[in-house]
Amino acid sequence: MATSVLIVGAGAVGAFYASRLSLTPNTTVSVICRSNYKAVQANGFSVSSPLYGSYNFKPHRTFSSPEEARKSRETWDYVLVSTKALPDVSDDSEILEELVSDTTAIVLVQNGLGIEEPYVKRFPKTTILSAVTIVSAAQTSPGVIKHNRWTRISIGPYLRHLDSGEGRPSDARAVGQNDKFVRMLKDGGIKDAEAYSHSKLQAVRWHKIAINAAMNPSSVLSAGSTNASMALDPELSIHLKGVMDEVLSTAPKVLGPASSSLFESLATSEQILRSTQKNTSGSKPSMQLDWESGKRMELEVILGNPVRIAREQGLEMPRLQTLYALLKMAQSNRDAAKQQKSKM
Ligand SMILES: NC(=O)c1ccc[n+]([C@@H]2O[C@H](COP(=O)([O-])OP(=O)(O)OC[C@H]3O[C@@H](n4cnc5c(N)ncnc54)[C@H](OP(=O)(O)O)[C@@H]3O)[C@@H](O)[C@H]2O)c1
């Protein structure tokens, strides 16, 4: 039987990985669309990439809503979620009601910390695979996906009972589902897809947070700076390094000493700054793009949750807390002004 994959959140990241998974032998890939439904239903996705060239990806089934996917009564081996993680706006785990069975694996391809929790709470018996990607992609118009660079995706089963106790018999199934998904991505041409253990994947998540928490809010608060211009600016680069070091020094204290060796193998704040200085393509962080277009930013999962998770263990992150407090208020002032304007 073919392996069936359903994508929830078929935007830049979801559609890009869907298009690669669709090339895996004996695999069908379907999507739930929202604002891009008409375009995708008519023409599929048009993908352009410096690595894979230009191609069209026609999903196996294109659903206009979660309800339509539910009505299809299809069963899914993997449900990949790549909506923006906005727990202050919606609990997207709700979308998956009646779409997952006990044998489905939910794959979360989203930035941030603590993103797995709503899914564990709602589907305690279902495998959750947690994925961190450093792909750079954008949906430039409905159904048109521009892959800019990078493909790295790190995936591990989310088994939080291992943080404080022993493994369970069901862990082996989750590890198997994880390994199979990584093989499927590799078969689809994603050569740097990599399987991780639960604890190592959480370390990778914290490491990505170091970059996101530094670049994203700083771009918004400096009125739309590019990553490179911030890394090249003498004062801003000190600030970026300060934020990254704060996250990278807090993470091993939260995750436990066993994670220290993994952090030693990942890029340091100096290395991240040097490589950002060289990337003068003019790219801006996603939070700035969301701010520019009046959308909600992923503040809670990139800033709020790390601050809260650290605080639960008696640790403060003053740089992150400052960025979080300022941007949260800026966002709420902006939304209030928008609401006021719409009433006039
Ligand atoms: N883009 C990147 O290069 C990149 C790189 C690394 C990590 N990430 C992370 O990956 C995640 C996804 O980012 P993205 O850039 O792919 O975002 P995106 O382009 O905005 O895609 C999100 C998609 O989810 C859809 N969606 C949201 N709620 C939905 C719902 N209830 N039902 C159906 N569809 C829904 C959106 O539809 P609408 O268009 O109708 O809103 C949109 O198509 C984020 O956590 C982001 O931080 C992104």
Work out which ligand 1 atom sits closest to the CA atom of 139. 19
Question: What is the distance between the alpha carbons of residues 124 and 118, in angstroms, rounded to a whole number?
Answer: 10
- In this structure, the residue with its CA closest to atom 24 of ligand 1 is 9
Do 87 and 209 reside in the same domain of the chain?
A: no
Do 170 and 79 reside in the same domain of the chain?
A: yes
Per the CB < 8 A criterion, the answer to whether 339 and 234 are in contact is: no
> Which pLDDT belongs to residue 257?
85
Do 61 and 75 reside in the same domain of the chain?
A: yes
Question: What is the distance between the alpha carbons of residues 301 and 295, in angstroms, rounded to a whole number?
Answer: 15
- In this structure, the residue with its CA closest to atom 43 of ligand 1 is 11
Provide residues with CB under 6 Å of ligand 1: 9-14, 32, 34-36, 82-85, 95, 109-111, 133, 135-137, 139, 286, 298
CATH code: domain of residue 299? 1.10.1040.10
Question: What is the distance between the alpha carbons of residues 146 and 328, in angstroms, rounded to a whole number?
Answer: 30
Do 261 and 283 reside in the same domain of the chain?
A: yes
Do 136 and 184 reside in the same domain of the chain?
A: yes
CATH code: domain of residue 92? 3.40.50.720
For every residue of 300-343, DSSP letters joined together read: IIIIIHHHHHHHHTT---HHHHHHHHHHHHHHHHHHHHHHHHHH
Do 309 and 164 reside in the same domain of the chain?
A: no
Do 252 and 151 reside in the same domain of the chain?
A: no
> Which pLDDT belongs to residue 53?
98
> Which pLDDT belongs to residue 261?
87
> Which pLDDT belongs to residue 294?
96
> Which pLDDT belongs to residue 7?
98
Q: Which residue in 6, 57, 45 sits closest to 29, CA to CA?
A: 6
Cα(155) to centroid(ligand 1), Å: 18
Work out which ligand 1 atom sits closest to the CA atom of 15. 16
In order of 1, 310, 315, the CA distances from 246 in angstroms are 48, 11, 11
Cα(323) to centroid(ligand 1), Å: 23
Contacts of 58 (CB under 8 A, 6+ apart): 44, 45
Identify the domain boundary among 196, 231, 252: 196
Do 165 and 239 reside in the same domain of the chain?
A: no
Per the CB < 8 A criterion, the answer to whether 99 and 79 are in contact is: yes
Which residues constitute the domain of residue 237? 200-343
Instruction: Please say whether the dihedral angle defined by the alpha carbons of residues 328, 289, 300 and 324, taken in this order, is positive or negative.
Output: negative
Identify the domain boundary among 173, 196, 219: 196
Per the CB < 8 A criterion, the answer to whether 32 and 7 are in contact is: yes
Contacts of 220 (CB under 8 A, 6+ apart): 287, 288, 291, 297, 327, 330
Do 210 and 87 reside in the same domain of the chain?
A: no
Cα(238) to centroid(ligand 1), Å: 31
Do 189 and 209 reside in the same domain of the chain?
A: no
Do 291 and 173 reside in the same domain of the chain?
A: no
CA 45 to chain centre: 20
Provide the token pair at 184.
Answer: 């499927």
Identify the domain boundary among 196, 225, 254: 196
Do 122 and 216 reside in the same domain of the chain?
A: no
Structurally, the chain folds into a number of domains equal to: 2
Best residue among 13, 33, 303 to mutate for probing ligand 1, ranked by most atoms within 8 Å of CB: 13
Q: Could you tell me the strand order of the sheet in which 193-195 lies?
A: 62-63, 27-32, 3-8, 78-81, 105-109, 127-133, 153-157, 193-195
**pLDDT per residue of the chain (344 residues) written in tens, 0 to 9:** 899 999 999 999 999 999 999 999 999 999 999 999 999 999 999 999 999 999 999 999 999 999 999 999 999 999 999 999 999 999 999 999 999 998 999 999 999 999 999 999 999 999 999 999 999 999 999 999 999 999 999 999 999 999 989 999 999 999 999 999 999 999 999 999 999 999 999 999 999 999 999 999 999 999 999 999 999 999 999 999 999 999 999 999 999 988 888 899 999 999 999 999 998 888 899 999 999 999 999 999 999 999 999 999 999 999 999 999 999 999 999 999 999 988 88
In order of 46, 86, 116, 138, 210, the CA distances from 267 in angstroms are 34, 28, 25, 25, 11
Q: Could you tell me the strand order of the sheet in which 53-57 lies?
A: 53-57, 45-49, 144-149, 136-141
